């Protein structure tokens, strides 16, 4: 029996096969096999997206070499591992005394049964289980989770290389959504985690790559160049005075926010937290109160970027800087010291509800 796509030729009279045609006749007589979309996809070799069983090695992937695929790191010891690209998810199992950099991960990063590792990680979700003594410079869009893990230390992600900003976008991550220090411990009752010193320097934990291939990435560990704004997170504030500043969507929103951060931190004020989130008209009344009607039309243009600064005189200095540097830009700034703390609480309570935290 012929298959569905086969064609049976009728023999010529006398039992002889009719001769095949040539040229257009031959082409017309041939039955071409159909092509499907899955036949056209590039073949994925899992080995290209796995580091396994390595010891005393420096390995990595250059920008463009992972391109959103899943990655697995397992059974590595005394290794330096660098993933300079964005990925879908990454699992790290049974690694000991490794130094690991992971570029932006669209989904989850999951450490299991690892110990004595130092890491720089950017992801949507961060989880550990059965780990011991991990020191992590983290950017995480959702609450980091640890389970059955001890000796965990966390700091704010600080890293730069030229392709990193675009990789964050490809992974669907905002550089302003980073709650690195808001750890949820599924094994309460013990002191399982803490924060790295404020003076901690990435280079002392995960040094720059030494191999000639990976040096080409042009990495900088200079905190001032970090693609992620460095925030205090859950550390105790130095002052009772905080100021909320909100930039509305536009061509220069990110640049303006970064400029204000530079201006304020250079004057000794501390950046506590940042957030990028969509707002609706009904949200404006809750957050901006008497100024809501002025800002409602701007909310339709896209997400807002909010910054919280802390320090004595933060409100006055922030208002002064906005007037001097951003005079032509619509910006919400806390209007006075008395209402500033309430403005901060109103916005971040709204943002947590909006983002499902």
**How long a stretch of residues is the chain?**
357
237-356 has the same fold as 46-216: no
242 labeled binding residue: no
108 labeled binding residue: yes
Q: Which of 5-19, 276-290, 301-315, 325-339 has the highest mean pLDDT?
A: 301-315
236 labeled binding residue: no
pLDDT in tens, 79-125: 999 999 999 999 999 999 999 999 999 999 999 999 999 999 999 99
Domain ranges of the chain: 46-216, 237-356
What is the rounded CA–CA span in Å between residue 104 and residue 87? Answer: 7
Structural contact between residues 177 and 275, judged by C-beta atoms closer than 8 angstroms:
yes
Given pLDDT bands bounded at 50, 70 and 90, which one contains residue 354? low
69 labeled binding residue: no
Can you give the pTM of this predicted structure?
0.85
- Left, alpha or beta for 233 (phi > 0: left; psi -120 to 50: alpha)? left
127 labeled binding residue: yes
Pick the CATH number of 237-356 from 3.30.410.40, 1.10.10.10, 3.30.70.141, 1.20.1050.10: 3.30.70.141
Kindly state the helix (H) or strand (E) to which residue 348 belongs, with its residue range. Answer: helix 337-354
Name the CATH architecture for the domain at 46-216.
3 Solenoid (2.160)
For residue 36, what are its two tokens? Answer: 């499907």
Q: Is the pLDDT of residue 39 over 80?
A: no
125 labeled binding residue: yes
């Amino acid at each position: 029996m012929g298959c569905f796509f086969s064609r049976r030729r009728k023999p010529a009279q006398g039992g002889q096969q009719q001769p095949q045609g040539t040229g257009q006749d031959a082409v017309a007589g041939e039955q071409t096999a159909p092509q499907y979309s899955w036949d056209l996809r590039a073949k994925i070799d899992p080995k290209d997206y796995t580091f396994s069983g390595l010891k005393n090695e420096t390995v990595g992937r250059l920008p463009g070499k992972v391109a959103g695929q899943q990655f697995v790191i397992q059974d590595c010891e005394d290794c330096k591992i660098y993933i300079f690209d964005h990925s879908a998810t990454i699992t790290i199992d049974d690694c000991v005394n490794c130094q690991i950099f992971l570029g932006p991960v669209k989904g989850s990063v999951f450490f299991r049964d690892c110990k004595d590792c130092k890491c720089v990680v950017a992801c949507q979700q961060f989880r550990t289980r059965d780990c011991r003594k991990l020191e992590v410079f983290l950017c995480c869009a959702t609450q980091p989770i640890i389970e059955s893990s001890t000796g965990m230390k966390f700091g704010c992600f600080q890293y730069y290389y030229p392709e990193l900003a675009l990789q964050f976008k490809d992974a669907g991550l905002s550089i302003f959504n980073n709650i690195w220090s808001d750890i949820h411990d599924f094994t309460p009752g013990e002191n399982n985690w803490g924060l790295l010193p404020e003076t901690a320097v990435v280079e002392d934990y995960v040094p720059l790559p030494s191999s000639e291939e990976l040096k080409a990435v042009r990495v900088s560990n200079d905190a001032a160049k970090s693609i992620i704004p460095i925030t205090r997170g859950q550390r105790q504030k130095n002052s009772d005075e905080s100021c909320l500043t909100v930039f509305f969507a536009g061509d220069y929103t990110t640049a303006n926010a970064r400029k204000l951060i530079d201006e304020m931190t250079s004057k000794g004020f501390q950046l506590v937290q940042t957030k990028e989130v969509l707002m609706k008209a009904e949200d404006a009344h809750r957050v901006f109160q008497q100024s809501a009607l002025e800002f409602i039309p701007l909310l339709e243009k896209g997400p807002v970027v909010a910054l919280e600064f802390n320090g004595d005189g933060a409100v006055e200095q922030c208002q002064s800087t906005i007037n001097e540097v951003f005079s032509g830009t619509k910006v919400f700034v806390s209007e006075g010291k008395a209402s500033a703390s309430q403005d901060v609480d109103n916005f971040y309570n709204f943002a947590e509800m909006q983002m499902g935290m």
